[in-house]
Copies of this chain bind each other. A is one copy, B any other.
Amino acid sequence: MSIAARKERQKEELKGKILEAAKELFIQRGFEETSIRNIAEKIEYSPTTIYLHFKDKDDIFYALHQEGFILLNQYLRALQNVADPFERLKAITKAYITFALENREFYDLMFISRSPMNALTKDKHDEKWEEGNKAFGALFGTVTECISKGYFRGMDPEILSFTCWSMVHGICSLEIRGRCSVISEANQENLSANAGDIINQMLERMHQNLIQ
C-alpha cells in the first residue's frame, strides 16, 4: 500500500507548508496581523484547505509555539554541561533573555499571547501544557540541585523556580510589549541584559548571605 504512504507523506508536506508560511508571516507581521487568508494565499490554496489540517487559528499557533520551545531548548541544551548547578542557573537566566530578544515573536507566542493556551483549553480538552511543563522542569531540576547543594536553604524549590522564571519573564515581556520607554535612552541600550545581571547578582548575594 505505498499509495497510502505517499498520500500520508503529501498530507504532512502540506501541513508543513502551512506551518512554514504561517511562521514567516507571523515573524514578519506578528500574530494579530497574520490571517488564515494570508497563509492560504501564500501557499496558493484556498483558506478552507487549512481547516483540513488544523482545527482553527489557535491550533496553528499552538503548533508554532511548539517550534518555539524546540528553539528555546537549543539555547538551553548547551548549558547542560555546566557542572555547578548554581552557575547553570545563572547561565539559564541569561540564555533565556537572549532567546527572548533574538526570537521576539516566538517568545510572545510562547509566554505572552493567549492563542496557544486557548488551543489547549478548547480542543485538547484536559490536556496539559506539556511544552511549558518540560521547560519549567529543566529550571526546576537545576534549582532543586542548587538546594540539595546548600543554596537557597529552606526554600520551596517549585515556588523559587517560578520566581526565577518570573523575574526574567518580566524583563522580556516588558521589553517585547514596549513598556521600556520609561527608561532613559542611555539605559535602554542593553537594559534587558543589565537587568538580567542584577537578577543573577541577587541570586548570588542571596547565596553569599546564607553561607556566611
Contact = CB atoms under 8 A, between A and B. Distances in A.
Contact of A163 (B112, B117, B158, B198): B198
Nearest to A113: B177
A130 to B, nearest CB: 10
Interface string A24-67: 00000000100000000000000000000000000000000000
Chain A: interface secondary structure?
helix
B198 A184 contact: no
A165 B158 contact: no
Contacts of A205: 205-206, 209-210
A179 B212 contact: no
Contacts of A174: 111, 162, 165-166, 169
Interface string A58-86: 00000000000000000000000000000
Given A113-B177, A206-B206, 17 more contacts: A111-B177, A111-B179, A112-B173, A114-B177, A117-B178, A129-B179, A159-B195, A162-B195, A165-B170, A165-B174, A167-B167, A168-B170, A169-B174, A170-B173, A202-B202, A202-B203, A205-B206
Contact of A173 (B129, B173, B203): B173
Interface in A132-190: 132-133, 136, 155-156, 158-160, 162-163, 165-171, 173-174, 177-184, 187
A171 B181 contact: no
